[in-house]
Amino acid sequence: MAGKEQHSMTVVSSTLPQGIGLIEVAGSLLGGEEIEQLRSAVSEFVDREQSRLIIDVTGVTYLNSSAVGVLISALIAYMRQGWKIKLCGVSKAVYSILAITKLNLIFDRYDTREEAILSFR
């Protein structure tokens, strides 16, 4: 289907050697199944009591209010436990959405995953 824009998204969860949870998100976060994948990935880390989590949004091209809601829920879940959650790879497009929602003021953001990892020390 040439010329048709892709609106797919991928969510990949892993644990880094430093014992930090990592969720890599790429594509457009537009709701539905994609949002459930992200919500589920965050829940798994909470259930495992993974107290440090990085959400790498380097490949995210767009997120809507549903995606913002998942990020807020993740932040609240982590803050309630006294745990740390950080974003890395925030593009200008994603940053503008964070700024509109004032999430740029409460999320720890880093340009690279390496900077986010180092920030846990």
pLDDT for 7-57, tens place per residue?
577 899 999 999 999 999 998 877 778 789 999 999 999 999 999 999 999
Count: domains in the chain: 1
Question: In angstroms, rounded to a whole number, what is the distance separating the alpha carbons of residues 82 and 93?
Answer: 29
Give the pLDDT score at 7.
54
Residues spanned by the domain of 72: 17-119
Q: What six digits make up the tokens of 76?
A: 């609240």
pTM for the model stands at 0.90
Q: Decide if 83 contacts 52 (C-beta within 8 A).
A: yes
Q: Tell me which amino acid residue 80 is.
A: R
Give the pLDDT score at 30.
76
Is residue 94 pLDDT above 60, yes or no? yes
The burial of 15, by beta-carbon neighbours within 10 Å (0-12 exposed, 13-18 middle, 19 or more buried), is given as middle
Q: Tell me which amino acid residue 103 is.
A: L
Is residue 73 pLDDT above 70, yes or no? yes
Calculate the CA 101 to chain-centre distance.
Answer: 15
Asked whether residue 3 is domain-assigned, the answer is no
Q: Decide if 111 contacts 91 (C-beta within 8 A).
A: no
CATH number of the domain that residue 23 is part of: 3.30.750.24
